[in-house]
Amino acid sequence: MPAMINRAWKLVARPEGAFKPADFQWTEEALPELVDGQVLVRQIYLSMDPASRGWAGSSPTYMPPVALGSVMRGFGLGLVEDSRHQGFKPGDYVQGLLGWQTHAVVDGQAITRFDRDPALPLEAYIAVLSHIGAAAYFGLLEIGKPKAGETLVVSGAAGAVGSLVGQIGKIVGCRVVGIAGSDEKCAWLKDGLGFDATVNYKREAVLSRLRRLCPGGIDVHFENVGGQVLDAALACIAVRARIVLCGFISQYNDFVPPPGPRFLGNVLIRRARMEGFVVIDYEDRYREAMGPLARWLAEGQLRYRTDVVDGLEQAPAAVNRLFDGANIGKLLVRVSDEPSR
């Protein structure tokens, strides 16, 4: 039987500023034979994550840079087609770092099998029941420690993580203000997700609007973008505020980081706490988050939206949707068809 062909995007240049098509090379190569412990996965959905910009750079982040000439790193969901690992069999659904490719030959330890609830669309397992939901859940609840009646502000609010953070805040009983980059996004947050108020940071003066919307100060601020938005939020924090640093997407394409926030002194004056986190540190505890997230989905308390781009060929263009704000909700690339149910 002829060997199966794997189609992949390899990273061939370190991006300068935004990703360019020439940073990637399309390859079509025969898949290797499996050895003991390995699994062959057909990818169905590839997650487009802002972190990919850091992984493609030359400086180590919380993971080493992607080596030039290798398949671009990416989180994905797929179906096992062949297995020489006792924990997996053909037909199993799995998640993990499958990369920007149609098929992945991976060690069994590197992927996680999940049982699909037939009532849930498969997309839910990458938009919510994944590293995205885990980031929102642990970042907000363990680091932000929101309490009923408190004011929560979330930036990047109409994105994958931000839209879940705001809704979990509502479930906890917070008053939730979302910051996003268009009127369409703000309308979705209020009318579709039940946020109490919104700020369109591209059209409104963020600092004065936050002051008006949060007269008692911000108790929990969940930061996804950094820069001027974080600056404005720090100006408005309440005494004993918790500032959760999840992401700084506004700076990922910069050569030189911008000057630090102007109101950092408020962290001292208001006796606040600012703490960053990386979701992979919670990998051993994902199950703790998946139970409540799945229940909230089933109860209709948690909603999500996906922005699906068809075809792995589109991945280099699709990833930039995160940086120009074109996506609403979780950005995905559909690499292959879901199996019929």
Ligand X SMILES: NC(=O)c1ccc[n+]([C@@H]2O[C@H](COP(=O)([O-])OP(=O)(O)OC[C@H]3O[C@@H](n4cnc5c(N)ncnc54)[C@H](OP(=O)(O)O)[C@@H]3O)[C@@H](O)[C@H]2O)c1
Binding site for ligand X (CB under 6 A): 49-51, 135, 156, 158-162, 180-182, 185, 224-225, 227, 229, 246-250, 277-279, 322-323, 325, 327, 331
Task: Name which of 229 and 237 has its Cβ closer to ligand X.
Answer: 229
Structure tokens at 219: 């108790």
Where would I find the H helices in the chain? 51-56, 124-127, 131-138, 160-172, 183-187, 206-213, 227-235, 265-269, 286-299, 315-318, 321-324
Q: How far is the CB of 261 from ligand X (least distance, A)?
A: 14
Q: How far is the CB of 219 from ligand X (least distance, A)?
A: 20
Task: Name which of 94 and 136 has its Cβ closer to ligand X.
Answer: 136
Q: How far is the CB of 126 from ligand X (least distance, A)?
A: 11
Task: Name which of 40 and 48 has its Cβ closer to ligand X.
Answer: 48
Task: Name which of 41 and 246 has its Cβ closer to ligand X.
Answer: 246
Q: How far is the CB of 217 from ligand X (least distance, A)?
A: 22
Residues composing the chain: 341
* Cβ-contact 74, 101 below 8 angstroms: no
* Cβ-contact 66, 76 below 8 angstroms: no
Nearest to 102 by CA among 28, 13, 36, 52: 28
What is the identity of the amino acid at 22? A
Task: Name which of 162 and 316 has its Cβ closer to ligand X.
Answer: 162
The interaxial angle of helices 160-172 and 131-138, nearest 10 deg, is 40
Phi, psi for residue 179 in degrees, rounded to 5: -110, 125
Burial (CB < 10 A; 0-12, 13-18, 19+), residue 324, is exposed
HSE-CB for 292 with a 13 A CA cutoff: 15
Task: Name which of 13 and 63 has its Cβ closer to ligand X.
Answer: 63
Q: How far is the CB of 60 from ligand X (least distance, A)?
A: 16
Task: Name which of 6 and 306 has its Cβ closer to ligand X.
Answer: 306
Give me the DSSP letters along 277-294. --GGGGGGGHHHHHHHHH
Q: How far is the CB of 314 from ligand X (least distance, A)?
A: 17
Q: How far is the CB of 40 from ligand X (least distance, A)?
A: 27
291 CB contacts (<8 Å, ≥6 apart)? none
